[in-house]
Chain A
Amino acid sequence: MTNDILVFAEVREGSFKRINAELVSAASVLVDKLGGVVHIAVLGGAVDGAVEEARSYATGKVYVVKSDVLDSYSTQGFASGLEAVLKECDPAIVLFGATAMGKDLSTRVAARARGSLMTDCTELDVEDGALKAKRPVYSGKAYADVITTKATIKMASLRPNIYPAAQKTGNLADVAEVSLPITLDQIGAMVKEIVVTSAGRKDVTEAEIIVAGGRSLKSEDNFKILEELADVLGASVGASRAAVDAGYAPHSRQVGQTGKVVNPKLYIACGISGAIQHLVGMRTSKVIVAINKDPNAPIFQHANYGIVGDLFEIVPIMTQQFKELLAS
């Protein structure tokens, strides 16, 4: 086992996802203590573009498993590929994004390698050879401090939008090709199709700024007011469960315990009361702005800035002022 860290690069439709740069950034902090380098693994069919990206982030090698079998994501296909990379690379730590793909793959690989796995971490550190992590538990109501206890390979998936994106190294790392041991007929489940549901905007889980609405929006149409503000800010639109249940917004926008957990730098909550089930979905946002008619709304206890007022009045003014600001 080396002192290196391997980052699994998530590639979707040939695109090198932003989370990968965040993983490299986290890995860099760790290898400073371990004294190793950061490798990146890229798996898939049409991965050449992603490989080039990866080469400008890795301080070690870029391990590539390129195969038609991996054209579409499959747990067993990618697990087999990554397993082969691990044999070549022999890292101490493997990092994944706590994304749909990352969570799907990381557990399979960790189980196969008989290693350890800590999911959805917000902080990572090494201490005396052990990997330490801080991760949200109880639906985000507390953090657990977890540590690895064995000398086996250590894996972790990192919550998106916490670590900054790493800078490119300025060099191009070497590429090591690894062949895929598994064949198509050995794979039991494979992605057939991807259906895009959010119209063009980033998914809330990847957004840096979110404008969210509650039941006070009163209609699906009224969400346009929020969309206008979101457009000006380059933000995504979120919704509380009450708004989704009332049919004002699709479930893909739902933020909260039974929706998505988000971590933007700015969360603007419009007409959202701030029930605990919503809070646990956005509580770790860097800055929270709350707009609500009710001065007693619980959201004000969890916001940085509060406006007691009518969102229908306030939000358009915000849109106007931000427009002017960006124009200047």
Chain B
Amino acid sequence: MSGRRIAHIRGEKMSAYFDLSEEERLIQQTARDFADSEVAPMAAENDANGQFPRGLVEKLAKLGFMGMLIPEQYGGSNAGNFALVLALEEINRACASTGVTMSVHNSLASSPIVGFANEETKKKYLPKMAKGELLGAYALSEASAGSDAASLQARAVKDGNEYVLNGTKSWITSGAEADLFVVMLRTDPSERAKGISAFAVERDTNGFSVGKKENKLGLRASSTVQLIFEDARVPAENMLGSEGEGFKIAMWTLDGGRIGIGTQAVGIAQACLDASVSYAKEREQFGKLIGEFQAIQWKIADMAMNIEAARLMIYRAARLRDRKEPHTKEAAMAKLFASEMANRAAREAVQIYGGAGYLKDSSVERYFRDVRITEIYEGTSEIHRIVISRFLLKN
């Protein structure tokens, strides 16, 4: 941790959406220093071993990074979505697996509890989530319900003052390590979206088990599992909001999660840019640095430009969410743009590295694999295009 610094960038003027306050600058710098000193050095090894960075999560919690959307009365820092974006970009730049763990915990797990749980449930879980003692996850998708989330089938049936849960959830990030799950289940089979309710489910629940870890292309230090409910029982107070509100809650939550994944894409793309610039200044062919060839220069210029554009779109969406203004369209646009440009960036980074970029030894190889999922999860690019077009074509 020696040599860390808190920096102030001089001479840059940006508009109200994009200016960072003093606190936001400090938050960004702490995240940056932490990412460089502690997250980045472990990233390659964790990816190779499929090793979840438990120690890092604890350290992130100690610094307050696991309670950024939790109000101070529950032990959180209430830093907000914009600050979360600043921190997530740095963490993802160092290690996307650690980044998604932090993103899901804050945006998809703690946030809906803050927004929709009753007071007892909030008091029960939020302080521990802020401290990192409970790691949060989010379960909406099922094997047969991906993009068509509203068709989900896992059931929750009221029985006295409990609900009995049955069914399977798929594609659950952090599922192998998480302690608390925000789960969407069907309480009314006669309705579609309106028949879904949201619950906070503890890992230590009878009848609730976690399936095997999926063997993924990327984000290999983050676990992706199935959740299996076999007559699992949760107290009725653990419902978030009321019966039938679950889908609305899920979508509202995903608006925030989307901003997080867009940020992940920006972070990974920034890592690609940093690696590309560094290589262009080192590698020589035909008697000069490859950075002196126009082909490489253009690739780098495009990468930088697209990252800048994506970052500013993310910033705007985050500011809107913090102001509690409508932001679904902006979040969708930002996530879509960021994920697509980041995949291009990773492809170009590997290209710039040439053969070396194809080796497990190089970091760009990992970026290339990690970034692919950003065009798929938290809404595929295709779904986002539909979401965006609806805003424009609806009467």
Contact = CB atoms under 8 A, between A and B. Distances in A.
Instruction: Indicate if A touches B (C-beta under 8 A).
Output: yes
Interface of A: 258, 296
B2 A258 contact: yes
B19 interface: no
Contacts of B3: 258
Nearest to B282: A296
Contacts of B282: 296
Contacts of A258: 2-3
Majority secondary structure of chain A interface residues (helix, strand, loop or mixed): loop
A296 B279 CA distance: 12
Nearest to B283: A296
Nearest to B284: A296
Contacts, number: 3
B85 to A, nearest CB: 32
A296 B289 CA distance: 12
Interface string B1-39: 011000000000000000000000000000000000000
Contacts of B2: 258
A239 B3 CA distance: 18
3 contacts: A258-B2, A258-B3, A296-B282
How many B residues touch the partner, as a band?
under 10
A258 B2 CA distance: 9
Nearest 3 CB-CB pairings of A with B: A296-B282, A258-B2, A258-B3
Contacts of A296: 282
A296 B278 CA distance: 13
Interface in B268-316: 282
Nearest to A245: B2
A209 B3 CA distance: 28
Nearest to B3: A258
Nearest to A277: B3
Nearest to B2: A258
A258 B5 CA distance: 14
A191 B248 CA distance: 72
A296 B2 CA distance: 27
A32 B366 CA distance: 67
A296 B285 CA distance: 13
A91 B3 CA distance: 42
A296 B3 CA distance: 25
A293 to B, nearest CB: 16
A258 B3 CA distance: 9
A319 B270 CA distance: 47
A245 to B, nearest CB: 9
A258 B1 CA distance: 13
B309 to A, nearest CB: 33
A108 to B, nearest CB: 29
A173 to B, nearest CB: 47
A257 to B, nearest CB: 9
A136 B182 CA distance: 59
A68 B2 CA distance: 42
B3 to A, nearest CB: 7
A292 to B, nearest CB: 15
B233 to A, nearest CB: 53
Interface in B223-260: none
Nearest to A296: B282
A197 to B, nearest CB: 20
Interface in B316-342: none
B291 to A, nearest CB: 14
B103 to A, nearest CB: 32
A258 B282 CA distance: 26
Nearest to A257: B3
A44 to B, nearest CB: 36
Interface string B122-133: 000000000000
A206 B2 CA distance: 26
A298 to B, nearest CB: 10
Interface string B364-380: 00000000000000000
A18 B282 CA distance: 44
Interface in B98-142: none
A260 to B, nearest CB: 16
B265 to A, nearest CB: 31
B176 to A, nearest CB: 33
A326 B3 CA distance: 43
A139 to B, nearest CB: 12
A258 B4 CA distance: 12
A269 B383 CA distance: 58
